[in-house]
Amino acid sequence: MPTLYYAVGACSLAPHIVLEWIGAPYEAVKVQYGSDELRAVNPAGAVPTFREDDGWLLTQAGAILDYLAHKHPEAGLAGGDGARAEAETHRWSAFFTSDVHAAFWPIFMPDRYTTDRSEAARRAVVEAGHGLVAKQFGILDRHLAGREHILDGGRSVIDAYAFPMIRWAAKLLPGGLVGYPNVQALHDRLTADPGVRTVLAREEGV
């Protein structure tokens, strides 16, 4: 059975949701970052890590989401057909990988961004991270004005990709999602989605 290795609340939540939306059998294995179990399949010790039936391994959230959307066209999660629709899907996937996810690193791991071990330096890095995330969420919020989904093609893997990062922002930004009403609305729609609820219940028991 296809297997997803995930950590609770991590970016692996996105392919976890997509697997649930697709509805084909899969196994979800909870792991700890850097654990021996995870390193045995992905030497980087990171999630998401996806393993196919025949043992083929795929890492990188954007690649896994793209693969699942194309493996299951019947689920209609690729974001639409045609060169422009595909380009938009790649654009937003890159946005979440390179701009949004990366903006959280200084908040999650400030020690990696300064050699100064003082508490003041750590706080300054976290604060800089808040600024980076706020900039990206401003872009996302403006894009979502008047839209139900991120892509024109309707619900897609990109909405799922956004979800864990929206949850991080809600928890970690000083004002949460205040100031991002359209992002808040997407968050609320996704939180009410039956597939998302199933996955959250599995990951977090909520």
Ligand X SMILES: N[C@@H](CCC(=O)N[C@@H](CS)C(=O)NCC(=O)O)C(=O)O
Binding residues (CB under 6 A) for ligand X: these are: 10-11, 33-34, 45-48, 60-61, 97
C-beta of 53: minimal distance to ligand X in Å? 21
Q: At what angle do helices 13-22 and 61-71 cross, to 10 degrees?
A: 10
21 near 203, Cβ under 8 Å? no
33/56 with CB nearer ligand X = 33
Under a CB-based contact definition with an 8 Å cutoff, are residues 184 and 137 in contact?
no
Residue nearest to ligand X (CB): 46
Question: What is the smallest separation between the CB atom of 73 and ligand X, expressed in angstroms?
Answer: 23
- Nearest CA among 170, 168, 179, 88 for reference residue 142: 179
Distance CA 150, CA 29 (A): 28
Which residue's CB is nearer to ligand X, number 3 or number 97? 97
Cβ at position 170, least distance to ligand X in Å? 16
| Euclidean distance between CA atoms 12 and 160, whole angstroms | 10
**Least separation, in Å, of the C-beta of 45 and ligand X?**
5
Tokens describing residue 49: 């890590």
